[in-house]
Amino acid sequence: MPEVKRTYVLDACALLRLAQDEPGAARVAEILADSASGNVRVLMHQINLGEVVYRIGKQFGWTVAERKRGEISLLPIGIVAFTEELFWQAVKLKASYPMSYADCFAAALAIKEQAVLLTSDPEFEVLGAAVIRMVV
């Protein structure tokens, strides 16, 4: 029976910490190194990846955002595409909790995958025990 690897889901804030070398970046880099060596799985929803890129573009310009997007594509992160199942789970979370719509996709993915949500965003606290969080 294959060993079940711990799974992490990155929200936009966690990846932005790494991309912009902010506090918490070292912890995110550590988990990505574990992913590269096959010890853990790291996932991110496509909606949250878009959030990272547009936030970088808004702050630093589209040229920088495109370069960061290319750098991110080289990281050992499985990008999870938009699906009906995750869409409706995110909609349900949005209807139930005062959270941003994009954060609902990260939370829905973490719940589906029984993963640890890696974040620096206190907004996820409203979910209580529904999502295991690791703050960076």
CB 85, CB 114: distance < 8 Å: no
Q: Which domains does the chain have, with CATH numbers?
A: 6-135 (3.40.50.1010)
CB 86, CB 107: distance < 8 Å: no
pLDDT attached to residue 119: 92
Neighbours of 98 (CB within 10 A): 7
pLDDT attached to residue 84: 96
Q: How far is CA 31 from CA 7, 38, 76, 117, 127, in A?
A: 10, 11, 10, 12, 23
Q: What parts of the chain have a pLDDT lower than 50?
A: none
